Structure 1
Amino acid sequence: MALKVELKPNERIIIGSVVIRNDEQRTRFFIEGEAPILREKDILTAASADTPAKKIYLAIQLMYLAGDPTEQHEVYFQLVRDFLQAAPSALPHMSEINNCILSGELYKALKAAKKLISYEAELLEHAKRV
């Protein structure tokens, strides 16, 4: 079964290791086969990974897009250790992410990492108020 993707004008998408940018009109196409796919709204760049949780997301994103996800494991696990040392209350989020990674469900790990980014924002907001 093919995946139907609709792109807004000038929207980008990554399919495998290729970045595709849409033209000036809305476009619909179908992807048949297996490849990592990320829409522009889900893509994080090194420049925009400006918090510890976003750096974890970026490491997972690189695992997802890479041919060999183990290349990012050392970086990922160091980021996780540092994050948990600073915010031990994030352990349930990290456990969910790690379970997804260990079961090979890297796209689900990205979704779980988005929850971690939201949790981090809550922690930072709470710290500002106190």
Structure 2
Amino acid sequence: MALKVELKPNERIIIGTAVIRNGDTRTRLFIEGDAPILREKDVLTASTADTPAKKIYLALQLMYLQGDLSASEKIYFPLVREFLAAAPSALPLVDEMNSLVLDGESYKALKAAKGLVAYEKELMSNAARGSQRLRAGGEVRAAAP
């Protein structure tokens, strides 16, 4: 069964190692076969991977697109250990990603990493609010994990 993908005008998609850019009109593609596929909205670059969770996402993205899970030992797991040292409350999310990586499910791990990016954003937002309260002289209460 073919995968149906609809592209907006000028939208990009990665199929295998090729970047495909749509023309000026909406297009529907039917992709047959087995190749890594990522829509433009799901792609991070080295310059946009500007937080620890986004760097983990980028490592998983590269592993998925290259079909090479050997990078997990050199790049992915050290990034994850560093992230957990700073945010141990993320362990359930990281456990899910790690299980998927070890099972060879790199696309599902990539999808799970989106949850880690969202969690990191929430943590940073909470930290910023706490910092603002401190500067304003207000009381800061510990939030439940």
Q: TM-score range by the shorter chain?
A: over 0.9
Give the superposed CA RMSD: 0.9
Residue number in structure 2 paired with 1:74: 74
C-alpha deviation, 1:31, in angstroms: 0.5
For residue 24 of structure 2, give the secondary structure of its aligned residue in structure 1.
Answer: coil
Residue number in structure 2 paired with 1:18: 18
Once residues 54 and 91 of structure 2 are traced to their aligned partners in structure 1, the CA distance between those partners, rounded to angstroms, is 16
Quick one: which amino acid aligns to residue 29 of structure 1? L
* Conserved? CA contact 2:49–2:55, under 8 Å: yes
Residue number in structure 2 paired with 1:51: 51
TM norm structure 2: 0.87
Residue number in structure 1 paired with 2:85: 85
Structure 2: which 5+ runs fail to align? 131-145
Question: Is 1:97 matched up with 2:97?
Answer: yes
Residue number in structure 2 paired with 1:122: 122
* Conserved? CA contact 1:62–1:72, under 8 Å: no
* Conserved? CA contact 1:12–1:40, under 8 Å: yes
Once residues 39 and 57 of structure 2 are traced to their aligned partners in structure 1, the CA distance between those partners, rounded to angstroms, is 15
Correspondence list, 1:60-71, <5 A: 60-71=60-71
Question: Which runs of structure 1 show a deviation greater than 4 angstroms over 4 or more consecutive aligned residues?
Answer: none
Residue number in structure 2 paired with 1:31: 31
Once residues 95 and 72 of structure 2 are traced to their aligned partners in structure 1, the CA distance between those partners, rounded to angstroms, is 18
TM norm structure 1: 0.97
Structure 1: which 5+ runs fail to align? none
C-alpha deviation, 1:68, in angstroms: 2.1
C-alpha deviation, 1:110, in angstroms: 0.8
